[in-house]
Amino acid sequence: MGQPTLKNNQLLGDSEFSSWRGDLRLGYRWHHDRTEVIQAYAKAPLRIQRPFYPESPQVCHSVMLHTAGGMVGGDRLNVQLDLQAQAQVLLTTAAASKVYRAPIHPVSQTIELNIAPQACLEWLPQDTIIFNQARYHQSMRVNLAPGGLWLAWEMTRFGRTAREEIFTAGNWQSHTEVWQDGLPLWIDRQWLPGTSETFYGLHGLNGCPVVGSLVFIGQEVSSTVIQEARVLWPGPLTDIGVSRLAAGMICRYRGQDRGAAQAWFIAVWGLLRVLFLGRVVCVPRVWGV
């Protein structure tokens, strides 16, 4: 897990070597009671597996791959998804994403998600591991039409904790915007500079290497659902937060255990799926849970 991959016969990890310009563009439509892929363009190192339907023809599961095994300084990745009206899509990744050290040039990833009326996108990537000295900037924009639904999560581990590595140098930024009819529904800006103060500080990570967010936007959520989401967390409430949004809800986690965060997110996902989509959870096999 800790070694960069080879590209152009050189060992990556320093900014002096060539970098990737990955691109992935996917389009989905609803046709004859089935969600179909109508566009699938991929440029290395991004790829998409053949779509599959473990639940029903209505819900298309797609798995995104990063064939280089990790991201290094200077890499620029672009992902765009377009869901036509009524399309139902679950997108995940084949494995955890790894961001290697980048002393000079940051890794950047830009994501644009276009969700038409009555369409639903479940954006559920596996976690991202930010190596010490990594510099990672992610920008996501969701264009959500009235009647569309977006459910997403993001789980991030700062440092390779199995090797007792902590994130004391580097930079991490995540910027997400959700827009509808030209108006912002939700804007979330997160920034964590890699220092001992931010890693151990109470207003930083407080010594917790794992953070996560689950957000659901597209319909109003009652206070009862907010309380049920809190009850689904088995640990101390100081590790989590659950809040209502103008048209949805958000769950936050800060702690030591990615597995516990994922289990809670899956439980909340299941709650929301039954209430708003009328279907139970179908865990992708690539998660191995």
Q: Does pLDDT of 13 surpass 70?
A: no
Residue 183 included in any domain: yes
User: What local confidence, expressed as pLDDT, does residue 289 receive?
Assistant: 64
Identify the CA nearest to 278 among candidates 145, 120, 52, 146: 120
User: What local confidence, expressed as pLDDT, does residue 1 receive?
Assistant: 37
Region 226-245 average pLDDT: 95
Identify the CA nearest to 120 among candidates 93, 81, 155: 81
Residue 211 included in any domain: yes
User: What local confidence, expressed as pLDDT, does residue 69 receive?
Assistant: 85
C-alpha distances in Å from residue 95, one per residue of 10, 38, 78, 286: 24, 25, 18, 7
Residue 6 included in any domain: no
CA–CA distance, 13 with 21 (Å, rounded to integer): 16
Find tokens 């996501």 and name the residue.
140
For residue 171, give its domain range.
14-278
- Please give the structure tokens belonging to residue 211: 């953070």
Burial of 235-255, coded b for 16+ CB within 10 Å and e otherwise, reads eeeebbebeeeebbbbbebbb
User: What local confidence, expressed as pLDDT, does residue 234 receive?
Assistant: 93
Q: What is the band of 111 on the pLDDT scale with cuts at 50, 70, 90?
A: very high
Amino acid at 278: G
CA–CA distance, 176 with 138 (Å, rounded to integer): 8
Total number of domains in the chain: 1
CA–CA distance, 43 with 66 (Å, rounded to integer): 10
Residue 77 included in any domain: yes
Burial of 203-230, coded b for 16+ CB within 10 Å and e otherwise, reads ebbeebbbbbbbbbbbeebeeebbebbe
CA–CA distance, 285 with 289 (Å, rounded to integer): 8
232 vs 237, residue with greater confidence: 232
Residue 233 included in any domain: yes
User: What local confidence, expressed as pLDDT, does residue 229 receive?
Assistant: 98
- How many other C-beta atoms are found inside a 10 Å radius of the C-beta of residue 260? 18
User: What local confidence, expressed as pLDDT, does residue 86 receive?
Assistant: 98
Query: What pLDDT digit, counting tens, does each position of 266-287 carry?
Result: 999 999 999 999 999 999 999 9
C-alpha distances in Å from residue 186, one per residue of 191, 225, 244, 246, 248: 17, 19, 11, 8, 10
The answer to whether 247 and 217 have CB atoms below 8 angstroms apart is: yes
Phi, psi of 127 (to 5 degrees): -70, 165
Query: What pLDDT digit, counting tens, does each position of 119-161 carry?
Result: 999 999 999 999 999 999 999 999 999 999 999 999 999 999 8
What is the DSSP secondary structure assignment for residue 287, as one 8-state letter?
G
User: What local confidence, expressed as pLDDT, does residue 6 receive?
Assistant: 38
- How many other C-beta atoms are found inside a 10 Å radius of the C-beta of residue 82? 19
The answer to whether 128 and 157 have CB atoms below 8 angstroms apart is: yes
Mean pLDDT of the chain: 92
Query: What pLDDT digit, counting tens, does each position of 53-102 carry?
Result: 999 999 999 999 999 989 998 999 999 999 999 999 999 999 999 999 98
Residue 213 included in any domain: yes
Query: What pLDDT digit, counting tens, does each position of 165-192 carry?
Result: 999 999 999 999 999 999 999 999 999 9
Residue 191 included in any domain: yes
Q: What is the band of 18 on the pLDDT scale with cuts at 50, 70, 90?
A: low
Residue 1 included in any domain: no
